[in-house]
């Protein structure tokens, strides 16, 4: 090797853009998979206690920061999205009481039908601003799904339980495409760690000893994960896989998205478009985020006093933020 080669050859090979971000995400997924496989019930309890409140707060801060200052042509979409989310969340919370007087399965099927119709309406409205997207197939497809779910309404709830954590990955992908497009190749490779991790968790837990449920809290966790619906599957594998996906979901909202998606520290509201509309709007945004901080503290306190009841109430109310993510994801560029 000549002296000229040593001078002109670079001392190292540059890594692809976003490699550090992708490696961090992959490492987090690997740790989440190991914890879920080893301690599925314990992890389910711990992550809800630690991260349920903070992730909602950071999610709200991120969404508020992405809302336009004025709705403009989006006003009909915003009205349908917000109105539908609040109506569906309120009716979902009332289902246990209504089921005492009516057929619970029939009520759940009716709620599913309204939910599917709401999503289909939002997709059609979104397609009007995207000429290349043909949404003519959406209404008949929604009708088919409504008819198919009627005999087994619990399957829609199960799809929400396992599909909701994946929506955070879709938001992260959209954010990277918008603000860090050069990171996308590395991110796509890292994203493959999620299905691989889920398969590894399932394989590691479904072949071993089954779950031993020792308390009503653990029983509620098992039901929430959908073990009753997936009665043919090993309970340990179902609970562990759900805990794994939930931890990935919390990690995306608490760590990954703030790293790339927040233009300023979360407490800086002067960069929020809505807050720049005027003083009253700025105060409103500050009040919403302040209430969010208070809600996190109150949630932690309630968890310490009565974890089981607080968990049940939280997941009933949290349906609202699950529903809010759907129109938000549809409107993201």
Q: Exposure string (b/e) for 140-153, b if CB count within 10 Å is 16 or more?
A: eebeebbeebeeeb
Least confident of 20-29, 181-190, 276-285: 276-285
User: What is the number of other CB atoms lying within 10 angstroms of the CB of residue 73?
Assistant: 9
| CA dihedral for 154, 160, 290, 288, sign (positive or negative) | negative
Residue 137 within any structural domain of the chain? yes
User: Structurally, how many domains does the chain consist of?
Assistant: 1
* 49 Cβ neighbours under 8 A, 6+ residues apart: 300, 303, 307
User: Mean pLDDT across the stretch 44-56?
Assistant: 95
Residue 10 within any structural domain of the chain? no
Residues 305 and 109: their CA atoms lie apart, in Å, by 35
Residue 11 within any structural domain of the chain? no
Residues 191 and 292: their CA atoms lie apart, in Å, by 30
Residue 89 within any structural domain of the chain? yes
Residues 203 and 225: their CA atoms lie apart, in Å, by 17
| Strands, E assignment, the chain | none
Residue 6 within any structural domain of the chain? no
What is the domain range of residue 82? 19-331
User: What is the number of other CB atoms lying within 10 angstroms of the CB of residue 179?
Assistant: 11
pLDDT digits (tens, 9 = 90+) for 182-233: 999 999 999 999 999 999 999 888 776 678 888 999 999 999 898 888 888 8
State the pLDDT at residue 201: 94
pLDDT digits (tens, 9 = 90+) for 169-183: 999 999 999 889 999
pLDDT digits (tens, 9 = 90+) for 299-313: 999 999 999 999 999
Residues 255 and 59: their CA atoms lie apart, in Å, by 11
Report yes or no: 253 and 172 within 8 Å, Cβ to Cβ.
Answer: no
Query: Percent of the chain scored above 70 by pLDDT?
Result: 92
| CA dihedral for 60, 53, 244, 207, sign (positive or negative) | negative
Residue 9 within any structural domain of the chain? no
* 46 Cβ neighbours under 8 A, 6+ residues apart: none
Residues 140 and 76: their CA atoms lie apart, in Å, by 22
Residue 79 within any structural domain of the chain? yes
Model pTM score: 0.89
Residue 7 within any structural domain of the chain? no
Report yes or no: 50 and 265 within 8 Å, Cβ to Cβ.
Answer: no
């Amino acid at each position: 090797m000549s002296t000229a080669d040593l001078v002109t050859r670079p001392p190292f090979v540059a890594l692809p853009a976003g490699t550090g971000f992708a490696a961090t995400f992959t490492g987090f997924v690997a740790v989440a998979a190991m914890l879920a496989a080893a301690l599925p019930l314990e992890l389910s309890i711990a992550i809800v206690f630690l991260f349920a409140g903070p992730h909602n707060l950071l999610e709200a801060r991120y969404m508020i920061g992405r809302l336009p200052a004025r709705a403009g042509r989006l006003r009909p979409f915003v009205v349908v999205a917000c109105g539908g989310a609040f109506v569906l969340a309120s009716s979902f919370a009332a289902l246990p009481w209504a089921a005492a007087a009516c057929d619970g399965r029939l009520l759940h099927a009716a709620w599913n039908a309204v939910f599917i119709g709401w999503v289909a309406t939002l997709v059609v409205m979104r397609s009007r601003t995207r000429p290349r997207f043909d949404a003519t197939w959406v209404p008949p497809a929604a009708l088919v799904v409504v008819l198919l779910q009627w005999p087994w309404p619990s399957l829609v709830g199960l799809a929400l339980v396992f599909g909701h954590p994946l929506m955070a990955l879709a938001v992260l992908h959209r954010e990277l495409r918008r603000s860090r497009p050069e990171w996308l190749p590395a991110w796509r490779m890292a994203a493959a760690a999620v299905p691989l991790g889920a398969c590894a968790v399932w394989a590691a837990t479904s072949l071993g000893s089954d779950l031993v449920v020792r308390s009503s809290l653990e029983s509620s966790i098992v039901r929430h994960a959908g073990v009753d619906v997936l009665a043919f599957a090993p309970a340990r594998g179902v609970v562990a896989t759900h805990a794994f996906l939930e931890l990935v979901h919390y990690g995306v909202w608490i760590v990954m998205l703030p790293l790339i998606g927040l233009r300023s520290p979360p407490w800086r509201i002067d960069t929020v478009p809505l807050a720049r509309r005027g003083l009253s709007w700025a105060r409103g945004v500050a009040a919403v985020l302040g209430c969010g901080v208070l809600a996190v503290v109150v949630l932690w306190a309630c968890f310490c006093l009565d974890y089981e009841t607080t968990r049940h109430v939280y997941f009933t109310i949290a349906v609202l933020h699950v529903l809010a993510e759907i129109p938000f994801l549809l409107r993201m560029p």
